[in-house]
Amino acid sequence: MMCEYAPNLPTLFLDRITQDPDRVCVRFRRSGVIEQRSWDDFAQDVFRAAAGLHRAGVQPGDRVAQLAENRYEWIVADLAILACQAVHVPIHSPLAPAQVAYQVTHSGAMTLLVSGSEQQTKLRSIAEQLPAELQLITYEPPLAELTTHRTHYWPEWLASQDPASGRALAESARQQQSPDALATILYTSGTTGQPKGVMLSQRNLVTNATGTVNHFQMQADEVRLCFLPLSHIFARCCDLYTWIVLGYQLDLATTRDSVLDDLQWSHPTVLSGVPYFFDRIYRVLRDHGKADEPGALQALLGGNIRYLCSGGAALPDHTYDYFHNQGVPVLQGYGLTETSPVISLSSKACCRRGACGTCLADVEVDTAADGELITRGPHVMLGYWQDPLSTAAVLRDGWFHTGDLGHVDADGFIFITGRKKELIVTAAGKNVAPVMLESLLTADPVIDQALVIGDGRNYLTALLVPSWNAVREQLADLPADAPIAGLCVRSDVRLLFERVVRDRLACVSYHEQVRKFTLLERPFSLERQEITPKLSLRRPVIAEHFQREIELMYQTEAESAARTNFPTDD
């Protein structure tokens, strides 16, 4: 059965909660105990939260930010904000304090929902940078230091609200809110590192979630475990809003480190992830000698998996082959935050190795003269918040220019072959702006040039060209006549650069940190065509010239990955 488009998300939500009010809709683990909520239980919490936001002064069109990891309160808040016809601004929980301050102030949010002590501590460190009128609602007991802003404690605040008032707000939103109304602002890194706020409408979110359900031919008896961050559009659309469309059961992973344990109590039938996660699953089985053991993969995934969904980065062919050969297909999709996000999807009935599936209904894809993929349809964003120039650069003649190079074959399958824009996408699907990181690194006097690497990799590395005069000022004991090659590997020199890299990147998030670096004996040069006359880096040329040095930094990647926890998309 094909699901019909609704005019807005409040309509989807109200329709859903009336169909099976007593059915379990969501489960999660708190303090080691699995809790569950029926659709009616969940609705009452949403209505109370909506009533509370309204009493706190939130009006239609107001921006409400949320700084929290995945948790039950996150999804309650999301639907409550939408019921108030306000605009949800989710902030990625791993962001550095300065990045949080920028997104709160740039979006104009006057209300901020925040989780526990880790996130509250960030706010304490940037209190003077936040608007004085900003009110805070904390999911866990507020820190005593959060006295600079008016603060409410979620459980107490929620208990005092009237759900009937919140339901009336949702009903009003159902009737009044235009499909073109702004629903959310999602900040994403640009190629220069300046965050841009992607504006997505009610129509964008509803049509993309409904189109995904129809394309996949999802079933209402599915159990989906969500561990990817809901602050990213991938999980928000493909886990959360498809749940509202279809009414299956949604389980929330406890933390990003607990996925394997959560698989065993959830026993999901569907799981969304990024390629690095699926590669780690394979490595766990391989390291235990069970990679080719019949049924071992299915057992590790909880025993009931029907299919897996991959997005955020390109799925390697060897990963695709392994899972398909084990009878657990990984189905790859393609999209961007600016496209809500899904442009194309594979399905069990329509899947091809190396391809990102075929387009959703009402989605068009074409190829520009230079090989760039362009798309148009109801999934394309409204634009970038307060950034008309950046909007005009990517939205031209009704088409959104993706910045990705690729082609569409005769059967409609989309293949991605590269990227036009200078944006690193790691194996975990993290978007990283290398220019911004390089500018931070070269701001230190000991670094003349820097190139950050990490496209399709599990972590970032860098090629660094030292300024030896500045290094000698820092390390007076360096021999004056020592060869550069020897200086590059000296322990005191390495320690100096480790400190510099750490300090210069202290202001960025975890996934933007450079894990390893190589000190180069020579600079990037115009003669070798490694830089342009304007001194811009020619990344492919440099990567080719220093391929050996780059590969050495990733030589032990598999061993180091085996010792780390599962990553997510946050």
459 within 8 A of 429, measured Cβ to Cβ: no
Has residue 295 been placed in a domain?
no
Burial of 216 (0-12, 13-18, 19+ CB in 10 A): buried
Has residue 215 been placed in a domain?
no
| Nearest partner of 261 among 570, 569, 565, judged by Cα | 565
Beta-carbon contacts of residue 517 (< 8 Å; ≥ 6 apart): 461, 462, 463, 464, 497, 501, 553
DSSP state at residue 24: E
Has residue 336 been placed in a domain?
no
Which pTM value belongs to this model?
0.86
Q: Digits of tens for pLDDT over the chain (570 positions)?
A: 789 999 999 999 999 999 989 999 999 999 999 999 999 999 999 999 999 999 999 999 999 999 999 999 999 999 999 999 999 999 999 888 999 999 999 999 999 999 999 999 999 999 999 999 999 999 999 998 788 899 999 999 999 999 999 999 999 999 999 999 999 999 986 544 578 999 999 999 999 999 999 999 999 999 999 999 999 999 999 999 999 999 999 999 999 889 999 999 999 999 999 988 998 898 889 888 899 999 999 999 999 999 999 998 888 888 899 999 999 999 999 999 999 999 999 998 899 999 999 999 999 999 999 889 999 999 999 999 999 999 999 999 999 999 998 999 999 999 998 777 778 889 988 888 888 899 899 989 899 899 999 999 999 999 999 999 899 999 988 988 889 999 999 999 999 999 999 999 999 999 999 999 999 999 998 788 898 755 678 899 999 999 999 999 998 654 444 433 444 444
Has residue 150 been placed in a domain?
no
Has residue 436 been placed in a domain?
yes
At 463, which helix (H) or strand (E)?
Answer: strand 460-466
549 within 8 A of 465, measured Cβ to Cβ: no
Has residue 492 been placed in a domain?
yes
Print the domain residue range for 542: 425-562
So what's the pLDDT on residue 283? Answer: 80
Give me the number of domains the chain comprises. 1
CATH of the domain at 455: 3.30.300.30
Has residue 284 been placed in a domain?
no
Burial of 441 (0-12, 13-18, 19+ CB in 10 A): buried
Helix (H), strand (E), coil (C) string for 164-191: HHHHHHHHHHHHHCCCCCEEEEEEECCC
DSSP bridge pairs for 250? 26, 224
Has residue 212 been placed in a domain?
no
DSSP string, 320-377: HHHHHHTT--EEEEEE-GGGSSEEEE-BTTB--TT---EEPTT-EEEE-TTSEEEEES
What CA–CA distance (Å, rounded) separates 205 from 241? 8
What CA–CA distance (Å, rounded) separates 208 from 218? 14
Structure tokens at 89: 């601004």
CB atoms within 10 A of CB 187: 23
